[in-house]
């Protein structure tokens, strides 16, 4: 199934099951969404439940907050995370705070879903990974969807929660095909062990998970080791138990992330895991991340600014040889 189809199926099933679930955003209705995620929903559920909005992100999120307070379960789409900067007042000062400030009397069962990440030559203002901004705000849950299983089950869970959720997708995954089953068990509050190993743990999420998986066999063959790969999944709350249990077993870990290294979310993963596993480690951890630069438009420069499968392979092999692997 296509990644976008899994998201569409989750929305369709939740809207069919619960009439309080509504969708709103730019071009989500008649047009079917910029990435076709809401395709067919407007025709099936009508304009009162699939709502085209003005190009006004702060108003989209503010309207969704009002809907949630009024008893609906809104799913607001922001066309890209880059545009969510216009809605940060509502996200940071209202969406994340109202349940706490009301002493739990107000519920905010709402989801704000958006794609992010480096696409292909969309330049600096449309190629950002901003998960650190969202994950550092107390009061909101932050989920990531790296494939059809996490997209489908994760989005359905997010819609059913009584807490506000930022649901992060990756633009380059929408038209990718992945294995899918409705019966697949996935807990969006837990990290997933995609591949078991005993000598090294690699943590990643969103598109970078797939870049890691492209070269993991090559890494194993070159270093003659067994690698465990973990899709971090939820960024807030972080599933520290699964992450630390893996590192206690393998005694080495690497973090691969697309966002810039300075202030990137990998720093949070590193510090949290390090605090729990310092005396278990046989080597210093390694972070592979984007460069501290706005993403260039030029394709060659763009690839220099982000991790690629080739970079992931070469950096891990170099680090491994330097640290006794």
126 is a catalytic site residue? yes
Please tell me whether residues 197 and 297 are part of one structural domain: yes
CA pair distance 278, 280, nearest whole angstrom: 5
Domain that holds residue 27: 3-173
Given a cut of 90, whether residue 81 has pLDDT beyond it is yes
Instruction: Output the pTM of the full model.
Output: 0.96
Average pLDDT, the chain: 97
Please tell me whether residues 285 and 246 are part of one structural domain: yes
CA pair distance 36, 54, nearest whole angstrom: 18
Please tell me whether residues 155 and 29 are part of one structural domain: yes
Percent of the chain having pLDDT more than 90?
A: 98
67: CATH: 3.40.50.970
pLDDT digits (tens, 9 = 90+) for 8-51: 999 999 999 999 999 999 999 999 999 999 999 999 999 999 99
Q: How far apart are the first and last CA of the chain?
A: 38
Please tell me whether residues 202 and 155 are part of one structural domain: no
Mean pLDDT value of segment 219-239: 98
Mean pLDDT value of segment 116-122: 94
Helix, strand, coil shares of the chain as percentages rounded to 5?
45, 20, 40
262 is a catalytic site residue? no
Mean pLDDT value of segment 216-221: 98
Q: Both tokens of residue 98?
A: 């109202």
Please tell me whether residues 217 and 281 are part of one structural domain: yes
pLDDT digits (tens, 9 = 90+) for 261-317: 999 999 999 999 999 999 999 999 999 999 999 999 999 999 999 999 999 999 999
Strand partners, 288: 256
Given a cut of 90, whether residue 146 has pLDDT beyond it is yes
Mean pLDDT value of segment 140-158: 97
Given a cut of 90, whether residue 63 has pLDDT beyond it is yes
Is the CB of residue 108 less than 8 Å from the CB of residue 163?
yes
pLDDT digits (tens, 9 = 90+) for 287-301: 999 999 999 999 999
Please tell me whether residues 138 and 231 are part of one structural domain: no
Given a cut of 90, whether residue 53 has pLDDT beyond it is yes
Q: Structurally, how many domains does the chain consist of?
A: 2
Catalytic residue selected from 5, 26, 77, 126: 126
Percent of the chain having pLDDT more than 70?
A: 100
Given a cut of 90, whether residue 185 has pLDDT beyond it is no
Confidence of residue 184 (pLDDT cuts 50, 70, 90): confident
Catalytic residue selected from 5, 57, 257, 302: 57
Is the CB of residue 154 less than 8 Å from the CB of residue 143?
yes
261: CATH: 3.40.50.920
Given a cut of 90, whether residue 183 has pLDDT beyond it is no
125-129, 185-189, 226-230, 273-277: segment of lowest average pLDDT: 185-189
CA pair distance 159, 49, nearest whole angstrom: 15
Please tell me whether residues 169 and 197 are part of one structural domain: no
Please tell me whether residues 154 and 242 are part of one structural domain: no
Helices first, then strands: H and E counts in the chain: 12, 11
């Amino acid at each position: 199934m296509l990644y976008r189809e899994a998201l569409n199926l989750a929305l369709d099933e939740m809207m069919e099951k619960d009439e309080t679930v509504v969708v709103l955003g730019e071009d989500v209705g008649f047009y079917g969404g910029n990435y076709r995620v809401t395709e067919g929903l407007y025709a099936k559920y009508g304009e009162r439940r699939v709502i085209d909005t003005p190009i006004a992100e702060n108003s989209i999120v503010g309207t969704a907050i009002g809907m949630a307070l009024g008893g609906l379960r809104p799913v607001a789409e922001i066309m890209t995370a880059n545009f969510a900067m216009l809605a940060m007042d509502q996200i940071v000062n209202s969406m994340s705070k109202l349940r706490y400030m009301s002493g739990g009397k107000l519920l905010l069962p709402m989801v704000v879903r958006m794609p992010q990440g480096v696409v292909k030559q969309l330049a600096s203002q449309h190629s950002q990974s901003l998960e650190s901004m969202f994950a550092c705000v107390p009061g909101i849950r932050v989920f990531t969807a790296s494939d059809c299983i996490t997209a489908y089950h994760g989005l359905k869970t997010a819609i059913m929660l009584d807490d506000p959720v930022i649901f992060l997708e990756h633009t380059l995954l929408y038209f990718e095909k992945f294995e899918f089953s409705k019966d697949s068990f996935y807990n969006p509050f837990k990290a997933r062990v995609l591949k078991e190993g005993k000598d090294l743990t690699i943590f990643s999420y969103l598109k970078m998970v797939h870049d890691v998986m492209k070269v993991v066999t090559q890494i194993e063959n070159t270093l003659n080791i067994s690698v465990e790969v973990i899709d971090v999944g939820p960024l807030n709350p972080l599933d520290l138990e699964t992450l630390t249990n893996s590192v206690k077993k393998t005694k080495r870990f690497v973090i691969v992330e697309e966002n810039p290294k300075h202030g990137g979310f990998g720093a949070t993963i590193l510090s949290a895991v390090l605090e729990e596993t310092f005396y278990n480690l046989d080597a210093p951890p390694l972070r592979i991340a984007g460069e501290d630069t706005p993403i260039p438009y030029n394709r060659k420069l763009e690839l220099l600014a982000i991790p690629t499968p080739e970079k992931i392979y070469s950096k891990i092999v170099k680090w491994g040889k330097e640290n006794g692997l």
